[in-house]
Amino acid sequence: QSVLTQPRSVSGSPGQSVTISCTGTRSDIGTYNYVSWYQQIPGKVPRLIIHDVNKRPSGVPDRFSGSKSLNTASLTISGLQAEDEADYYCCSYAGRYSVLFGGGTKLTVL
């Protein structure tokens, strides 16, 4: 069982916005701003899309944004496109050098 809890699936139509939540505890997301998000298209390698809660690496569209409130991080994808269909994983540092991933969320673009 993953320590960071994500919804198993979300969906949206092209052009809409979706938000994926990632719930941890006071010991991980609640304490550290080392929250990152990864996009994994089936059969492909994970790709970093958000780091440090809300920062985008170069080349990642500004349709992707991140935030955090207390023990929950969120990834919002606005202006959904068919190419956004993928699995999304959150990740957080949890102290004493431990890194946790979420269980992953499958995004379906209707």
Partner 1 sequence: QVQVVESGGGVVQPGRSLRLSCAASGFTFSKCAMHWVRQAPGKELEWVAVIWYDGSNEYYVDSVKGRFTISRDNSRNTLYLQMNSLTVDDTAMYYCASQNSGSIQFDYWGQGTLVTVSS
Number of residues that bind partner 1 (CB under 8 A): 24
Q: Which helix (H) or strand (E) holds 37?
A: strand 35-40
Q: Which stretch binds partner 1 (CB under 8 A): 19-27, 63-71, 73-81, 90-98?
A: 90-98
CB neighbours of 109 closer than 8 A, spacing ≥ 6? Answer: 11, 12, 13, 14, 80, 81, 82, 84, 85
Nearer to partner 1, 71 or 101 (CB): 101
Token pair in block for residue 84: 């956004």
Residues within window 15-54 making contact with partner 1, judged by CB under 8 A: 32, 34, 36, 38, 40, 45-48, 51-52
Interface pick for partner 1 out of 9, 57, 81, 110 (rule CB under 8 A): 57
